[in-house]
Structure 1
């Protein structure tokens, strides 16, 4: 197996050696930034003396609808700094008359559904990691961590201020970003930087340094250069304390206990160890204000994945959370605190040296007597070394250890593994122009009494030009591999997964581009006998209005390796070894984002397990009274026609939602989730007041009901106050 993996790594070098050492693509795009000696007032008005002396980044390039000309919508960007803050002033001129278009004043808005401006910043100039800041035309803020060369994690929040002003012919955006809120390489005078603009009235997406249309405007491979007149100032003492106080109560109506009252305090601390390395500490953390996961209908044979949203785990998380693939994750931080309270933890993350990054974390959870679970320690360390222009090598070690644990043979509780460890290495390919990307990885697990069949290796290679894209991927996971702190929903298989697609760009006044995409996934058991195959052919049309239509057809074959209930709630299972095959087809349509009323519709019909049939309808509709109120409804209906023991099974998943954004600092969200498959109705309301940057007051209410007859199961009310205090 390792021989095949090494062969694939060699293939990386053969297909991409011409661009691995290439110069930065947009190195000629340079914006000079000068230190200001006069104060800057962040009010969205360009009357400060500093702005009259600042260089201007202008003449943006169009990304969409075409990437071969200058943007028709004019944008001007100015930057300056002082000892504490990096300042930004943007003038977004209107391309055509009319009001701006936004969803709401809610933070971290959807890029495609808002008139907005975004800054993409690479303060290590490694074209891989960085920060993004921005705002929509109504003043809602956007901030996120950038990773993997162009992805943005919007769950990250930090301390900065901004202001937006609207005029008849333009809107302006001004921001002050404290140097203490970001990480950057000490002593360098050139940062990677780019600016992105989305203008819905003209359906134009543009950037200062040109980005090919097949890539997002956030692609760090295509950043220009921010040239400092002096090296950026040292952050000096950079210690932040973020305490919280919490009060509330909950009641389980299925039990005889009364109201369970809660009153807690906890503390997070962020300690800057220089400008690029950070130490995070937490004592008795609480994440009850994190928004509830959106429920989905689960007709899959394996566990579903929900992303991490807790702030403590996010900074530089890509080093460990990004190791592997979407279904091969040796470390998944949501396993920590899943069934036991977190007592305390520490995390060291950031850059060490020119090309090295680290994320090392240790978390301690308390014991849970009800299930016989002892105290546990969760530790992970990930180290990344940049190679060539944009590629890197990563190593990871994950350890879960039970503390002071001796299994009691007479106990009614199941015994637990004393430890589970994972060790892995991967090479991530990213060519200078981002056209070639890929990964090759190997993982091994260690547990008590574990056999030698505990290995994973996987690799992929992807090519993405303006028209053609293809990807080859293969995986091997041995049947005894264990990752108790990871997300690996299935084991014991080989998999090959090639895909190819082509886009046609014409001059049709309605259609921007269109083209087919073909992919297949084939699974084999350890004897190389085919156990599963899923093939999908899609044809996508993207219109100039930014609406999209996709028509698709597919074929599935499954030889069940484990018993499976095709309804996922009846309890009646198909036997292992039974074979199932069917065809399916469907379509989906997403409306143009400019309308106040937006919608997405999808339809699927065809065969299903046990020679049955399945029909699915899904809709997502929303109406906005911009920028203050948004109303949306998600609905999914499944109709399963199965043999007599199951019968015809029909169930709904419905989720109405109300978003009220009184200002860009005061938010109220209320939603319901009716899940007929789980026989549950969930009600949730959350009020948030950001009374100071990164400091919040939350009031959270939640209810869970049995729908028929309506009967409350549990209820909770929580008040939480957090404050970000810089020492």
Structure 2
């Protein structure tokens, strides 16, 4: 079937176009596209499949329309060809993983720079998901949230959705009547993905340089551009079984002023993160620090601008890691105030952040008040590439003389050899502080060919022995880090296998002023994704570790100095998410240092009813070493009561045998308006001593109310 043409849409070789209709009267947000404005709006319906066949004919029809006026953009999507029984839908939670459910996803590029964008998705239950385009389209920052709303409706032969986006919720290029625009639909029962534009497996949906065009947009007006969001927090807490309960009542304020359509200034005072979900616990069988992602709203606005250096990351270096602000060794440090300025002018994106924290006195030490700042500028060059600088000043522990600066250049094209992805980047950083002396620099590069059939990458980083940016994250210091990886992913014409991933990843780490530190050869002779949606994988991984300083891997189990070479194996099975009961089981086994280690991990999701969902995660480590045996267990159970997309009750119970702490985090989140919500949070932690006696560590009840006043 050839490409369809509807009024208002012209198909070119690379970028189809859809004209926006005029929003004359307010839309009743009910998921039904039955208002008069919808009837006269141009329609895009020329969708083609990405999966299971590239540029194939979809099994069902999809129609997209857009309406806009000076203050609002409304997107309407009709997903036909399904009965309610055909729909795979479980989630109602905001920002849930809906990738394996029936859903639609929209990407917008209001700057037309091909390197940034906003993503909005809705599943067939009305669960909303939003994200920033990250890493130039290769990934998404799902922790970002915006003010918008959506409703779905079941229609005769499918479902439809209305998405309403206030123009004040996003930044955009002033005076432009054209945005980058694309729509993707997932038909989960058939494991089918279809797109309107960029219908190529080698290209990611978030690569806005390949998106279609949304044209005929009006001259937008964001009003005064002022957002004032006060919050009130009541905190009843108790520490230890003997202490009496204390009650605190505090107010905080977040305010933002849109200086122009593409520049936003933000102020936060007495910042509170009471609603932030607790971290998921991790076990650590290495001698290096663990990485936990940022979840706090204030730091996530404009987070894509602060991304630095192709080839940096949690495995090597993050020059700006916002969790360094307000958190010191898992101790919360109150933020007195902060300001942020971020935006885009022409081809230049910029962001600046300044924060001040209060003094905190703990049983062990005193964390002094401090002031910190970060600046990032990135300029787009060569259509899809960029060059930039980053700098920071200040230290969370108020150590004097702390600063860092660096630069990066990334070359990217989605038209390598015609229509393939190719990325290459270099970066360099230098930091200083009074307690640092020599070798405080870091630099590296990465070359990547990330495509559907072949994905090949080479990464190198040199991290100085005293490279320790106060506001950054460094997993290893004083090393040369090298990694070479390749994935060959053919799609055999077998009736039960959709794609095979043959993987080989070589990692080698050598000390700058000494011998080698570690190596790993990760192979996947079997990693098959089946037509059913299930996946089977088997891995072989030779590993080497050169221990120069003994370290404790578990309680009273110390790995001594020496060179160790061992073999690890893994068997893994993943069960398709289209089923009400799904999940993944993984078993690593084999030699480990001079002994043996079994790592058994289970993730299980059960959705017995639309109202209720269970997520079980469990990890069991059983080690037998010459220096001692150890067993570690980590278990978590999340229970979700999904009343609707605006009201959820989530409880998360965690226990691990290392800390012997049982923790409960329960959250009720009621979004009573797109501009306002309420959180009720209960935290309860108890400790199990060696006599198997449970003792209260702390308990807390938090009530937070916030509302966004927009002018």
**TM category, shorter:** over 0.9
Go from structure 1 to structure 2 and tell me whether the alpha carbon gap of 1:113 and 1:28 turns closer, same or farther (over 3 Å shift).
closer
Q: 1:179 aligns with which of 167, 170, 186?
A: 167
The residue number in structure 1 matching 2:517 is: 531
Alpha-carbon shift at residue 111 of structure 1 (Å):
3.3
Task: Give yes or no for contact 1:26–1:223 (8 Å, CA) kept in 2.
Answer: no
Alpha-carbon shift at residue 528 of structure 1 (Å):
6.5
The residue number in structure 1 matching 2:581 is: 597
The residue number in structure 1 matching 2:239 is: 252
Q: 2:426 aligns with which of 435, 440, 444?
A: 440
Q: Is it true that 1:365 corresponds to 2:357 in the alignment? A: yes
Alpha-carbon shift at residue 571 of structure 1 (Å):
4.2
The residue number in structure 2 matching 1:549 is: 536
Alpha-carbon shift at residue 468 of structure 1 (Å):
1.4
CA separation in 1, counterparts of 2:165 and 2:354? 30
Alpha-carbon shift at residue 417 of structure 1 (Å):
2.4
Alignment of 1:639-718 (within 5 A): 639-643=622-626, 645-646=627-628, 648-707=629-688, 708-718=692-702
Alpha-carbon shift at residue 476 of structure 1 (Å):
0.3
**What secondary structure does 1:432 align onto?**
strand
After superposition, the C-alpha distances for 1:251-302 in whole angstroms (9 at most, x for unaligned) are 1116x54223211101000111111110110000110111111112221211
Structure 1 stretch displaced more, 596-605 or 626-635: 626-635
CA separation in 2, counterparts of 1:398 and 1:228? 41
Alpha-carbon shift at residue 503 of structure 1 (Å):
1.1
The residue number in structure 2 matching 1:390 is: 384
Task: Give yes or no for contact 2:84–2:154 (8 Å, CA) kept in 1.
Answer: no
Alpha-carbon shift at residue 527 of structure 1 (Å):
4.2
The residue number in structure 1 matching 2:369 is: 375
Alpha-carbon shift at residue 47 of structure 1 (Å):
1.7
Go from structure 1 to structure 2 and tell me whether the alpha carbon gap of 1:550 and 1:25 turns closer, same or farther (over 3 Å shift).
farther
Go from structure 1 to structure 2 and tell me whether the alpha carbon gap of 1:25 and 1:347 turns closer, same or farther (over 3 Å shift).
farther
Structure 1 stretch displaced more, 54-63 or 25-34: 25-34
The residue number in structure 1 matching 2:591 is: 607
Task: Give yes or no for contact 2:203–2:414 (8 Å, CA) kept in 1.
Answer: no
CA separation in 2, counterparts of 1:145 and 1:283? 25
**What secondary structure does 1:245 align onto?**
strand
Go from structure 1 to structure 2 and tell me whether the alpha carbon gap of 1:54 and 1:574 turns closer, same or farther (over 3 Å shift).
same
The residue number in structure 2 matching 1:144 is: 131
Task: Give yes or no for contact 1:211–1:222 (8 Å, CA) kept in 2.
Answer: no
Go from structure 1 to structure 2 and tell me whether the alpha carbon gap of 1:54 and 1:416 turns closer, same or farther (over 3 Å shift).
closer
Structure 1 stretch displaced more, 528-537 or 336-345: 528-537
Alignment of 1:105-124 (within 5 A): 105-124=92-111
Q: Is it true that 1:329 corresponds to 2:318 in the alignment? A: yes
Taking structure 2 as the reference length, the TM-score comes to 0.93
Task: Give yes or no for contact 2:178–2:217 (8 Å, CA) kept in 1.
Answer: no
The residue number in structure 2 matching 1:5 is: none
The residue number in structure 2 matching 1:3 is: none
Alignment of 1:319-358 (within 5 A): 319-323=305-309, 324-326=312-314, 327-339=316-328, 340-352=333-345, 354-358=346-350
Name the count of aligned residue pairs. 683
CA separation in 2, counterparts of 1:635 and 1:624? 18
Go from structure 1 to structure 2 and tell me whether the alpha carbon gap of 1:291 and 1:66 turns closer, same or farther (over 3 Å shift).
same
Q: 1:226 aligns with which of 214, 237, 248?
A: 214
Structure 1 stretch displaced more, 49-58 or 523-532: 523-532
Task: Give yes or no for contact 1:556–1:581 (8 Å, CA) kept in 2.
Answer: yes
Gaps of 5+ in 2: 1-10
**What secondary structure does 1:105 align onto?**
coil
The alignment's C-alpha RMSD in Å is: 1.9
Alpha-carbon shift at residue 53 of structure 1 (Å):
1.3
Alignment of 1:90-101 (within 5 A): 90-95=77-82, 98-101=85-88
CA separation in 2, counterparts of 1:496 and 1:558? 15
Task: Give yes or no for contact 2:83–2:158 (8 Å, CA) kept in 1.
Answer: no
Higher strand proportion (structure 1 or 2): 2
Q: Is it true that 1:574 corresponds to 2:559 in the alignment? A: yes
The residue number in structure 2 matching 1:213 is: 201
Q: 1:418 aligns with which of 378, 390, 400?
A: 400
CA separation in 1, counterparts of 2:467 and 2:284? 25
CA separation in 2, counterparts of 1:91 and 1:130? 23
After superposition, the C-alpha distances for 1:500-559 in whole angstroms (9 at most, x for unaligned) are 121111221211011311011111112463221111101310112222111100011111
Q: Is it true that 1:624 corresponds to 2:607 in the alignment? A: yes
Q: 1:454 aligns with which of 426, 434, 440?
A: 440
CA separation in 2, counterparts of 1:527 and 1:691? 59
Structure 1 stretch displaced more, 121-130 or 219-228: 219-228
CA separation in 2, counterparts of 1:311 and 1:638? 34
Alpha-carbon shift at residue 98 of structure 1 (Å):
2.7
CA separation in 2, counterparts of 1:299 and 1:468? 32
Taking structure 1 as the reference length, the TM-score comes to 0.91
After superposition, the C-alpha distances for 1:213-243 in whole angstroms (9 at most, x for unaligned) are 244333323201111254x313131111111
Alpha-carbon shift at residue 133 of structure 1 (Å):
1.4
Go from structure 1 to structure 2 and tell me whether the alpha carbon gap of 1:515 and 1:175 turns closer, same or farther (over 3 Å shift).
closer
CA separation in 2, counterparts of 1:449 and 1:294? 33
CA separation in 1, counterparts of 2:273 and 2:289? 23
Go from structure 1 to structure 2 and tell me whether the alpha carbon gap of 1:51 and 1:384 turns closer, same or farther (over 3 Å shift).
same
Alpha-carbon shift at residue 305 of structure 1 (Å):
0.9
Q: Is it true that 1:52 corresponds to 2:39 in the alignment? A: yes
Gaps of 5+ in 1: 1-23, 403-414
CA separation in 1, counterparts of 2:389 and 2:57? 43
**What secondary structure does 1:56 align onto?**
coil
Go from structure 1 to structure 2 and tell me whether the alpha carbon gap of 1:329 and 1:84 turns closer, same or farther (over 3 Å shift).
same
